[in-house]
Each structure stands twice: as structure tokens, then as C-alpha cells.
């Protein structure tokens, strides 16, 4: 059974922009391949520029296929269309946690796997911390098993993603 995959509408729109960019890149690579072949009049095996372009073409095609497959199977969630949270953490929530080790608050937003960006405190709903937060409420303590040991956090606030 395949697990469902989710992405926010903004994340999906960004992925479509990336897909269109990759398709433009593919057109440019095809053009460069054609120009390289014209200069060399065949002889694919000795033209290193052409060989590099052929490898790039395969790479870009694989990236396009990967994005298209993902887009055809993903469940898109319009965060603006979601009702206010019911006091529980869910996809699209911004959650303020109190880190019991540092006694400092930290805020995370829960989005899709392709949207996660730890530097900007965006975690995937399928990550250990995302899974630990889901369906919990303010005041709940969550525990995450990490390589450096058990991490404990208290949920201080839950809001819609801004």
C-alpha cells in the first residue's frame, strides 16, 4: 500500500515553476546538442562537449520525470482553505515548542517532505519531530529519539502557517 504524500498549495506552485524551468533547460540542452553535432558533423564518441551535454540531457529528463510523477500523485492542501485549527497540531500548523534541554522556545512549521527546510524551521509531517507534534495540543510534552539521546519539548502555541 502506498502512503499518501502531501504538499501545500504554495509548495505545489513552486514545484510547477521548477518543472517549467527544467523544461526550458531541456530545450536549451537540446539546442546545444544540435549545435555541437553540427560543429563536429557526427563523431559523438570523441566530442567531449557533446558527451557532457548528452549526460546533462539525461539528468534533466530524469528530474522532469521525477517532478511530473510526484505532481501526479501528491495530495495538494490549500492552507488558506483550512478552518482554524481545533487545538491540535496538523499539516500547515506553526508550532512553538519549549526545548527542555535549552529552556528556549523554537517555532516549527509542518509542511510536506519536499518543502522541509530546517534552516527556516520548516519540518516535514513525516519527520520524527513532525510525527511527534501531529495531533497534540498546547501543554502536551513530546519526546523524540535522536542520535544524541531523548529530546523533550512542550507545545506552547499552535497557529495557522503565516
Query: Would you state the pLDDT for residue 69?
Result: 95
* Cα three-residue angle 144-145-151, rounded to 5 degrees: 55
What is the per-residue pLDDT across 72-112, written as a single tens digit (0 to 9) for each?
999 999 998 887 778 899 999 999 999 999 999 999 999 99
What is the per-residue pLDDT across 112-158, written as a single tens digit (0 to 9) for each?
999 999 999 999 999 999 999 999 999 999 999 988 899 999 999 99
CB of 139 closer than 8 Å to CB of 153: no
In CATH, the number for domain 6-77 is 1.10.287.180
| Cα distances (angstroms) measured from residue 52 to each of 11, 29, 55, 58, 62 | 32, 10, 5, 10, 15
What CATH class does 82-160 carry?
alpha beta
Q: For the chain, where do the domains classified as CATH 1.10.287.180 start and end?
A: 6-77
> pTM of this prediction?
0.81
What are all long-range contacts of 121-124, with beta carbons under 8 Å and residues at least 24 apart?
none
Count CB-CB contacts under 10 A for residue 89: 24
For residue 83, how far is the Cα from the chain centroid? 23
Query: Would you state the pLDDT for residue 161?
Result: 65
What is the per-residue pLDDT across 21-30, written as a single tens digit (0 to 9) for each?
999 999 999 9
Q: For the chain, where do the domains classified as CATH 3.10.50.30 start and end?
A: 82-160
* Cα three-residue angle 61-115-22, rounded to 5 degrees: 20
Amino acid at each position: 500500500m502506498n502512503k499518501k504524500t502531501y504538499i501545500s498549495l504554495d509548495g505545489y506552485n513552486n514545484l510547477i515553476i521548477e518543472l517549467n524551468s527544467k523544461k526550458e533547460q531541456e530545450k536549451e540542452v537540446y539546442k546545444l546538442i544540435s549545435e555541437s553535432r553540427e560543429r563536429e558533423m557526427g563523431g559523438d564518441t570523441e566530442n567531449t562537449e557533446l558527451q557532457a551535454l548528452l549526460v546533462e540531457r539525461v539528468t534533466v529528463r530524469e528530474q522532469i520525470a521525477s517532478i511530473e510523477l510526484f505532481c501526479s500523485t501528491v495530495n495538494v492542501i490549500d492552507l488558506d482553505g483550512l478552518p482554524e485549527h481545533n487545538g491540535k497540531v496538523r499539516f500547515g500548523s506553526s508550532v512553538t515548542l519549549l526545548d527542555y534541554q535549552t529552556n528556549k522556545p523554537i517555532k516549527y512549521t509542518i509542511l510536506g517532505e519536499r518543502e522541509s527546510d530546517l534552516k527556516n524551521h520548516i519540518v516535514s509531517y513525516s519527520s520524527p519531530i513532525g510525527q511527534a507534534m501531529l495531533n497534540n495540543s498546547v501543554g502536551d510534552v513530546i519526546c523524540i529519539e535522536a542520535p544524541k539521546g531523548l529530546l523533550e519539548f512542550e507545545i506552547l502555541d499552535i497557529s495557522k502557517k503565516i
